[in-house]
Structure 1
């Protein structure tokens, strides 16, 4: 349960904003959890690729076919060298700013449009987000309260419950979706995802479980297999997140059994209620979703704080500023690389 705080906000947002097949995602994620728990023997989490999700949620025209294309491309690439923290910072801040829009404005996800101001400026979502318990991840508590509010808003949704999994279909990806997904969602975000899901996870795993033997190759191959298998059927692109592993350890996870149990719960939920979950989530308070996304975006941006020098921090800020002002991670990446080269030449 420790990694649900980083899992729920992203999956929930993509389900509501982009019509992600939640039932299929839960089924595949559940299988991933159980297999990984058995193979690694430690609480290795299965997390959505937050950087890719940030691109999808913050871009109105970035639908599920493009997200699927990104996941497949990411799975096909075994490793990437070199990362730029500024892109991660800008994507995290973009994520957070989108969440504020969800809190303050009424959203029409079906038309990808924003309506008028929300009553009390979304204060309902902020109030619900107050942490009232410390024994569970706050995102999990907020999610449960949001589900309760969904049933209060539309009690008749219970009558529409149908047991059984969602229909699993191969996602149709156009040539344009492949192109856009590869350029916007793979080229720049993938190094950041690999750094968090492979390098950071292996380092944290060694720190927490020094007796276990981890290799970057095995972790990278597992990430590739997850996305090459599940994304074709509409499952969310996944990886191993260092934040999810830290959350599992924080809440007592010491073996692969805990993530295997979590995977079994996801699998059962996807098989039993997969076709009905979306009807419940349609009534989920968007203000609450905004709060969940806000902290997910902040967490993503905070991952860029590990700079070793003033020069690295300067390059990071240049990347973030250009990416946000120009609404282009590619432009931010290019400017950051130019500044990085100039700083290196100055020191020669």
Structure 2
């Protein structure tokens, strides 16, 4: 069922087309810069139960890793998340779930009818590169913003990452996470004692049917779902497909499959109390930048998140404190650099340059508005 082999001098377990080694383990955490801040916002400001959120993320990360066998991330939808967290006093849980249901139905329909395939075909390469460049720049800006509060700590993280970025013996992500955990304990001496009092308690998500009204569904569709649609199209579907097929030409995916996948995972997530989710070129860049090359990274992270959701959901806010905000900023910053570098293969004629630069300007503007 599995094969143990040596690759470049390191031991690797290969199972169902995925690798499981320390580089996949390190790369698994390359998407935390976007995942944790949004999840924390939903939990602390919107008062959502972390159980449904984490179980949905865990299950679908495992599924995506096993099915696609590439490090395609699963992230919170950023327009919906930004709006819901910024207006937590008026956005209800039902509206968030309603947005997930609308999003799920919409992308499921786009995939099943083949409409998404037609849109992908008329989208030129410079436009796709512009989408990816814009997201990369927005990640860089957001990462710098997260590092700004404690610049000295962040600089230490940047230096560690630069020194070890290409190391397979000492993966940069693992050393960076260790550095962050040490900093967290130094800044909060009582944190270790609080963590030792955590106990396991199994819980299973409850269905949300009875907690949604038609008004919630309609408001979620209009206020949250509609503004998210173009961002999902550009980044989560077209951008992700382009990036995956460029890095992993032996494991290509299609816009139709990714669109249907978006539909199914959002419908299931909404009904188990989760949040709207998507794939993303930026998250994939983060996984790749820190060592992931197969879906094994997603399976590893999915198992960790699923276990946390099922057994430690009452302590999630405390557990996340072991990763200081500046360290998440460093992760996001390097993911942004990796993604922005895709522009290098565009021939710089006037038309291509215009197409590739207008979209980044617009996307950065949207990101600033969300933050």
TM-score category, normalised to shorter length: 0.5 to 0.7
Q: Distance in 2 between matches of 1:181 and 1:229?
A: 18
Give the superposition deviation at 1:67.
Answer: 6.7
In 1, distance between residues paired with 2:330 and 2:83? 15
Q: Which moved more, 1:171-180 or 1:141-150?
A: 171-180
1:185 pairs with 2:228: yes
Distance 1:128 1:159 in 2: 26
Aligned to 1:126: 155
Q: What is the alpha-carbon distance in structure 1 between the residues aligned to residue 325 and residue 63 of structure 2?
A: 34
* Structure 2 counterpart of 1:94: 138
- CA drift of 1:262 comes to 5.0
Tell me the equivalent position of 1:239.
279
1:14 and 2:38 matched: yes
Q: Does 1:294 align with 2:333?
A: yes
Match of 1:142?
A: 176
Q: TM-score, normalised by structure 2?
A: 0.64
Matched, 1:196 2:239: yes
Q: Is the 8 A contact 1:166 1:275 kept in 2?
A: no
Unaligned runs of 5+ in 1: 106-120, 332-348
Aligned positions of 1:195-234 closer than 5 A:
195-202=238-245, 204-205=247-248, 207-209=249-251, 216-232=255-271, 233-234=273-274
CA contact (8 A) 1:101 1:290 kept: yes
Corresponding residue for residue 111 of structure 1: none
CA offsets 1:26-54 (integer angstroms, 9 cap, x no match): 423332244345545xx23351347x437
Aligned twin of 1:53 = 78
Alignment deviations for residues 241-267 of structure 1 (CA, whole Å, 9 cap, x no partner):
59749957995866x677545543432
Alignment of 1:31-46 (within 5 A): 31-40=59-68, 43-46=69-72
- Count of residues in correspondence between the two structures: 305
Aligned to 2:148: 104
Task: Determine helix, strand or coil for the equivalent of 1:208.
Answer: coil
Conserved? CA contact 1:125–1:289, under 8 Å: no
Q: CA RMSD in A?
A: 4.1
Distance 1:198 1:147, change over 3 A: same
Runs of 4+ in structure 1 over 6 Å off = none
Inter-partner Cα distance in structure 1 for 2:292 and 2:356: 35
Provide TM-score, normalisation by structure 1: 0.68
Partner of 1:155: 192
Q: Is the 8 A contact 1:32 1:263 kept in 2?
A: yes
The alpha-carbon deviation at position 127 of structure 1 amounts to 0.8
Q: Distance in 1 between matches of 2:321 and 2:57?
A: 22
For residue 9 of structure 1, report the CA deviation from its aligned partner: 1.7
Counterparts in 2 of 1:262 and 1:88: CA distance versus 1, 3 Å: closer
1:219-277 CA distances to partner (integer Å, 9 max, x unpaired)?
Answer: 432332122212442246133759749957995866x6775455434322332323212
Please tell me whether residue 277 in structure 1 is matched to residue 340 in structure 2: no
